[in-house]
């Protein structure tokens, strides 16, 4: 079993014949493919998959239809979906590297559609476990495969703008919740949960299949850092270049390195000894490069910080509609839906803003800023609950959500920077399990605590106290690890420059 797993993750070579590579240079027929086409395709695919963030809108109507004991019982569906999103991203990463983005995106879209069809059956039969299997297990698996695909594609095509590529991919995923919160609410009101699942499942499937047909990995001779390749696929008869090695070299040494310093940007690379990150992969080093990256200090640190950074936001975002109605008096379902929609917008802003800024500002500094703001937001949310101030709750809930989106906008480019872009699809899929673990551990714990608080007769203004008190030290640990990582990477960069050959 171990050998099978090891082989699965180690085998990241793309299965593409010369004929398939030649066809990938054209969108359809004789229409040349250009990389800008990936932007709208990726955005549409991610918006469909990201609709699951608006699950809280489903909680009340489904709980009423299936006669559930509590809304919390339905809310567990979201955390099951998060868990399988992480598992699918982890396992699906190597498949994405081997078989390309079109196949994986279509499979992901198909599973997401099937998950929603099964969820409709669960609602009809009034069986919550069927809902868990449908949207949670099968739908979550489809979401995970769909989520990692545009990220890996855009990071390869836009290697000179990694922050921008991350912002587009993960920002669109967050944007899905904004659109879905209103579309789901409208359909639930007009059609009910069963037909809402059917209508949206079919709609998302068509969009994801079309988007998947546009997605592809770059040709083997593609170099995004060369002037002639901006926006165009290289001439198939042009001289061949080893794109992976070229991108890996430039990504580590000829652009902003995340430490506030530029690594040997003006010095030519030595043909004998290349500068490599001492804690990332070196193609010339013994052992499988993927496993070298996987167990590298840099990758483990990124995953640990990612896990700690997302817990507060992911836990709160998934049930904001319920929080608004239980913690404050007089909040209607329509108001809660409006709050959820605007909250999704701030999720998008965080992903886009911090993703784009990461091309200009130290990525670990951005992590420190986002986690610090998370701590401030948690404290002020606690005060808003105690005072019953909905006006205080709104801005800091939205700030918390923006800070939750921030690491999602930064992590893909951070992995490519401090580890290397060669196995990004597989590595980011594994890193996504850190995000999923944060959601599952935090979400399940959150639910258990809330239910115990309610059962104990704790006032609604105090039922979130224990959860927030638990989140504060976790977020603080995230800041500490980020500071340590910052100085470790900076030391490594300085050591690499000191040993680099001079012109």
Percent of the chain surpassing pLDDT 70: 84
Q: Average pLDDT, stretch 450-466?
A: 85
Closest residue by Cα to residue 93 from 39, 154, 24, 147: 147
Is 225 a member of any domain? Answer: no
> What's the whole-number mean pLDDT along residues 190-202?
95
Quick check: 255 and 160 in contact, CB under 8 A?
yes
Instruction: List pLDDT tens digits, range 242-251.
Output: 444 444 444 4
Answer whether residue 86 is part of any domain.
yes
Q: Give CA–CA dist 444/465, Å, rounded.
A: 16
Among 140, 463, 478, residue whose Cα is nearest residue 301? 478
- Which range marks the domain in which residue 420 is found? 11-16+25-219+291-493
Cβ neighbors of 25 (< 8 A, separation 6 or more) are 32, 33, 219, 233, 236
For 265, phi then psi, to 5°, come to: -65, -30
Q: What are phi and psi of 190, to 5 degrees?
A: -90, -35
- Residue 239: inside a domain, yes or no? no
In a domain, 270, yes or no: no
What pLDDT shows up at residue 258?
A: 37
Residue 502: its pLDDT value, please?
A: 60
So what's the pLDDT on residue 119?
96
Q: Is residue 190 part of a domain?
A: yes
Task: Tell me the two tokens of residue 393.
Answer: 């709750």
Phi, psi dihedral angles at 28 (to 5 degrees) = -160, 135
Using DSSP's 3-state secondary structure scheme, residue 407 falls into helix
Backbone angles phi, psi at 26, to 5 degrees: -125, 140
CATH number of the structural domain spanning residue 451: 1.20.1250.20
Nearest-10 crossing angle of helices 363-387, 297-317: 30
pLDDT digits (tens, 9 = 90+) for 210-236: 999 999 988 877 776 654 444 445 444
Domain total for the chain? 1
**How far, in Å, CA of 278 to CA of 290, rounded?**
15
For residues 239 and 222, the answer to whether their CB atoms sit within 8 Å is no
**pLDDT digit string, tens, across residues 124-154:** 999 999 999 999 999 999 999 999 899 889 8
Indicate whether 4 belongs to any domain: no
With respect to residue 440, please indicate whether it lies within any of the assigned structural domains.
yes
Asked if residue 229 is part of any domain, the answer here is no
**Each residue's pLDDT tens digit, 324-378:** 888 888 888 788 878 877 887 888 888 888 988 888 888 899 999 999 999 999 9
Does position 280 have pLDDT exceeding 80, yes or no?
no
pTM: 0.72
């Amino acid at each position: 079993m171990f050998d099978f797993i090891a082989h699965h993750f180690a085998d990241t070579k793309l299965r593409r014949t010369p004929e398939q590579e030649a066809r990938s240079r054209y969108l359809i027929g004789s229409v040349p493919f250009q990389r800008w086409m990936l932007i709208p395709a990726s955005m549409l695919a991610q918006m469909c998959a990201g609709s699951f963030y608006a699950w809280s809108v489903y909680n009340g109507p489904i709980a009423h239809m299936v006669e559930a004991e509590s809304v919390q019982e339905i809310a567990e569906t979201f955390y099951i979906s998060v868990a399988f999103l992480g598992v699918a991203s982890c396992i699906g990463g190597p498949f994405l590297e081997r078989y390309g983005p079109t196949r994986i995106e279509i499979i992901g879209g198909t599973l997401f559609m099937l998950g929603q069809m099964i969820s409709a059956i669960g609602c009809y039969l009034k069986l919550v476990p069927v809902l868990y299997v449908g949207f949670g297990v099968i739908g979550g698996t489809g979401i995970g495969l769909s989520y990692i695909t545009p990220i890996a594609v855009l990071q390869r095509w836009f290697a000179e703008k990694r922050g921008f590529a991350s912002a587009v991919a993960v920002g669109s995923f967050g944007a899905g919740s904004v659109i879905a919160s209103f579309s789901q609410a409208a359909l639930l009101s007009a059609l009910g949960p069963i037909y809402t699942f059917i209508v949206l499942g079919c709609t998302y499937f068509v969009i994801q299949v079309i988007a998947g047909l546009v997605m592809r990995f770059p040709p083997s001779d593609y170099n995004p850092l060369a002037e002639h390749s901006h926006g165009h696929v290289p001439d198939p008869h042009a001289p061949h270049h080893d794109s992976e090695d070229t991108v890996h070299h430039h990504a580590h040494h000829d652009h902003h390195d995340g430490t506030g310093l530029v690594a040997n940007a003006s010095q030519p690379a030595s043909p004998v000894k290349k500068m490599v990150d001492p804690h990332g992969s070196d193609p010339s080093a013994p052992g499988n490069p993927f496993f070298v990256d996987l167990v590298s200090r840099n990758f483990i640190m990124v995953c640990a910080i990612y896990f700690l950074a997302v817990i507060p936001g992911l836990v709160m975002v998934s049930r904001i509609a319920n929080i608004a109605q239980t913690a404050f008096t007089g909040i209607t379902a329509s108001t809660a839906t409006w709050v959820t929609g605007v909250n999704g917008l701030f999720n998008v802003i965080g992903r886009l803003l911090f993703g784009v800024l990461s091309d200009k500002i130290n990525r670990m500094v951005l992590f420190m800023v986002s986690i610090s703001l998370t701590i401030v937001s948690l404290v002020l949310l606690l005060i808003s609950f105690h005072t019953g101030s909905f006006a205080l709750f709104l801005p800091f809930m939205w700030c918390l959500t923006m800070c939750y989106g921030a690491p999602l906008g930064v992590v893909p480019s951070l992995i490519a920077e401090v580890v290397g872009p060669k196995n990004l699809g597989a590595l980011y899929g594994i890193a996504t399990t850190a995000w999923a673990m944060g959601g599952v551990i935090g979400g399940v714990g959150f639910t258990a605590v809330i239910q115990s608080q309610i059962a104990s007769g704790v006032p609604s203004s105090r039922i979130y106290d224990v959860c927030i008190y638990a989140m504060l030290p976790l977020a603080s640990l995230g800041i500490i690890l980020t500071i340590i990582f910052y100085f470790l990477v900076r030391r490594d960069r300085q050591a690499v420059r000191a040993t680099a050959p001079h012109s």
